[in-house]
């Protein structure tokens, strides 16, 4: 074999290895096995660290966001912090009337007579603990859900809709479907936020949100559920509850950024809807998809 032939063979081998090692389509049979026997519609988006390769399953469906939209809300709030219109340290008064609600709220549980908290704590409660009172307070600070939707539309994100508050969507089962996203859109915002390629946030706001999402306490049985202990997962969950009439779950969701052993990240959004499974079994779907992606990409 002459040098030219050897060089071409080597280059060809390297290209083949690169394509094989990065080709997320090879993950699809493993994901298909996870989904095979589950009674639910599952939307999945998985992207590599550079967002140059992807696996999208059931990507055209508008999935109810539920509390995953608190990630989007936090970005919109922190944008206002970066512009000097809000500050993380500013006091936010929470009246007794505000916490006199049936909404899920660790703030309500800790401060049943109301309190005053810095905005940074409201964000932390809303994102890391999925607090619904904190969420609607933040929508109020921005002037309503339409301001969050407008922010993302102006940034070029068109495949999602943020229309209603937590109080509104939890008062009527059907209203939750007004807040929807396509799975690829959720991943694109995760990537643009984390990589900061579009400069969505300042460095300090980026770090604040990253630290907050890493401390998320909800959904431990979802993206994180089957991963090795200590794996870095910055994520946001969502859950609809169970329709008392039909027994169907409209949303068990988790979106996030996961670190691999080599230090690279991957982006994953899993939305489970129209589920006739139990909540634990619906969460298990997310955990198994996450584990399959983690194992495949760590090779």
CA-based nearest residue to 79, from 147, 181, 125? 147
Reduced to 3 DSSP states, what percent helix, strand and coil does the chain have, rounded to the nearest 5?
45, 15, 35
Give pairs for 231-234: CB < 8 Å, separation 24+.
231/258, 231/259, 231/294, 232/258, 232/259, 233/257, 233/258, 233/259, 234/194, 234/210
Active site residue 67: yes
Distance CA 294, CA 125 (A): 28
> Cα-flanking dihedrals φ and ψ of residue 211, to 5°?
-65, -35
Active site residue 166: yes
Q: Which of 67, 240, 282, 290 is catalytic?
A: 67
DSSP single-letter state for residue 67: G
Q: Which of 121, 129, 166, 259 is catalytic?
A: 166
Q: Which helix (H) or strand (E) holds 269?
A: strand 265-273
**For the chain, counts of helices (H) and of strands (E):** 11, 10
Which residues are known catalytic residues? 67, 166
């Amino acid at each position: 074999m002459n040098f030219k032939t050897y060089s071409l063979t080597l280059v060809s081998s390297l290209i083949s290895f690169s394509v094989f090692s990065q080709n997320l389509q090879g993950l699809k049979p493993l994901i298909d096995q996870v989904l095979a026997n589950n009674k639910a519609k599952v939307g999945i988006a998985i992207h590599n660290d550079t967002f140059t390769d992807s696996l999208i399953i059931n990507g055209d469906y508008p999935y109810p966001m539920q509390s995953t939209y608190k990630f989007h809300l936090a970005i919109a709030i922190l944008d206002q912090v970066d512009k000097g219109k809000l500050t993380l340290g500013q006091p936010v008064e929470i009246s007794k009337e505000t916490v006199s609600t049936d909404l899920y709220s660790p703030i309500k549980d800790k401060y049943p007579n109301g309190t005053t908290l810095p905005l940074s704590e409201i964000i932390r409660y809303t994102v890391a603990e999925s607090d619904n009172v904190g969420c609607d307070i933040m929508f109020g600070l921005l002037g309503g859900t339409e301001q969050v939707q407008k922010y993302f539309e102006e940034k070029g994100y068109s495949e999602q809709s943020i229309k209603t508050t937590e109080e509104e969507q939890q008062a009527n089962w059907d209203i939750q479907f007004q807040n929807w996203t396509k799975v690829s859109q959720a991943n694109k915002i995760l990537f643009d936020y984390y990589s900061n390629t579009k400069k969505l946030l300042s460095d300090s706001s980026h770090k604040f949100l990253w630290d907050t999402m890493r401390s998320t306490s909800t959904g431990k049985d979802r993206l994180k559920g089957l991963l090795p202990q200590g794996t870095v997962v910055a994520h946001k969950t969502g859950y609809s509850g169970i329709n008392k009439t039909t027994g169907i779950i409209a949303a068990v969701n988790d979106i996030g950024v996961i670190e691999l052993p080599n230090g690279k990240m991957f982006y994953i959004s899993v939305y489970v809807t129209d589920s006739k499974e139990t909540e634990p079994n619906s969460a298990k779907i997310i955990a198994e998809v996450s584990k399959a992606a983690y194992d495949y990409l760590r090779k």
